[in-house]
Structure formats: C-alpha cells, structure tokens
C-alpha cells in the first residue's frame, strides 16, 4: 500500500542495522541503503529524547546539499534511558555487564528518534517504550554476553534475543521501537510527510 504512494519518491535508509533494514523490507517499500560516517557526540546537557532527536538529525545533516528532489533520507537513533542516564552501546564487556546489572529488576525506557529529510524539509519524531526486567543473575548476564555479544546494542541487549525471552517481565508500548524503530509511527508519519 505504501509502496504505491511512494512510487514517485526514493527512500534512503541511512542505517547499517540489519534489524532496521528488515523492518523496511517487511513494510514492503522500495529503499536503498546509503551510509555516512557520523561521530555520534551530543551536548552533555541534553536529556532523554533530546539526545536521540539530536543524533537522528545529526545523521540526517550529513546528507545536506546532496539530496535530489525525489529523495527522502531516513535516519534514527536509539538509547536506553535509566535513572536519568543515557545507556548507549557498551565500551567493552565489563561496561555491558554493568549496564545489564543496573537494568536488572527495574524498569527503563527505550527511546528511538526518527528523522525524515528531503532537500527542502526535515521532520523528527520519537517514541518511548517502557521495559521491565526481572532480576538477572550474574550467571545469566555472563551467559548472554558470552553467547550473544550484544556490544553494538544500546543498553547492551536485544529484546528479540535470549535475554528478552528469559529476562523481560513486561513491556509497555511499541515492541518494534525496542528492536530499533517504531514502525507504526514510521508508517503513519511517512504517509503524512508525503502529503505535505
């Protein structure tokens, strides 16, 4: 359905994430992947969705001046927000262990911002999902880190992997948002975006 409405546009997904790429395939739209090297540094005073909005827009700004009139670039950024702290991708295995230990037996927020950019306009939106972990033993955390190596994941975990099956007690909000992109919102906002 969206494919037909987008036939006069070229969608560019600026993400190397296999999960986000699969979401776009599953949405049944034609797209191409175009990657840019962007240093993901944000001002330290930013909080929660301010961080993801900033980074999604920073990634989109890398395409400034090179987009054709029919191109829409899609960028995004995901963080875990817990105890007023941003948990991005871990620096190493020790950092990953400490992140998961802090998430154990508590509720955190997964925040994803998405940015659409054309050569004339930019739109950014975000989604927040609450995720509650049961208590994770040190043994379970070490098992997960050794076998799944989630070192490229915000918060050091992926909900669709083993740790999600055994460790997550409750989720409030969008599941796809926790995987990496709130697809219901992407669909809705993309439909609106092309009407404007």
Which is the catalytic residue, given 77, 92, 95, 138? 77
Annotated catalytic, 26? no
One-character DSSP codes across 121-147: -EEEEEEEEEEEE-PPPHHHHHHHHHH
Contact 87, 99 (CB under 8 A): yes
Contact 117, 67 (CB under 8 A): yes
What is the b/e burial string over 162-177, where b = at least 16 CB atoms within 10 angstroms of the residue's CB? ebbeebbeebeebebb
Question: Number of C-alpha atoms within 13 angstroms, CB side, residue 1?
Answer: 4
Q: 147: closest CA among 157, 137, 134?
A: 157
Residue numbers annotated as active site: 77
């Amino acid at each position: 359905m969206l494919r037909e409405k987008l036939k006069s546009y070229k969608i560019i997904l600026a993400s190397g994430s296999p999960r986000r790429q699969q979401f776009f395939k599953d949405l049944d739209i034609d797209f191409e992947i175009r990657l840019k090297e962007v240093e993901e540094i944000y001002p330290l005073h930013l909080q929660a969705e301010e961080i993801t909005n900033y980074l999604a827009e920073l990634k989109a700004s890398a395409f400034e001046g090179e987009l054709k009139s029919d191109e829409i670039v899609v960028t995004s950024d995901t963080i875990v927000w817990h105890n007023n702290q941003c948990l991005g991708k871990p620096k190493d295995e020790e950092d990953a262990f400490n992140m998961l230990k802090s998430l154990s037996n508590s509720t955190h927020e997964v925040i994803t911002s998405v940015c659409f950019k054309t050569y004339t306009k930019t739109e950014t939106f975000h989604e927040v999902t609450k995720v509650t972990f049961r208590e994770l033993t040190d043994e379970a955390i070490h098992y997960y880190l050794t076998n799944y190596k989630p070192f490229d994941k915000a918060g050091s975990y992926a909900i669709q992997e083993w740790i999600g099956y055994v460790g997550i007690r409750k989720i409030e909000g969008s599941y796809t948002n926790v995987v990496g992109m709130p697809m219901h919102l992407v669909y809705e906002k993309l439909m609106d975006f092309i009407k404007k």
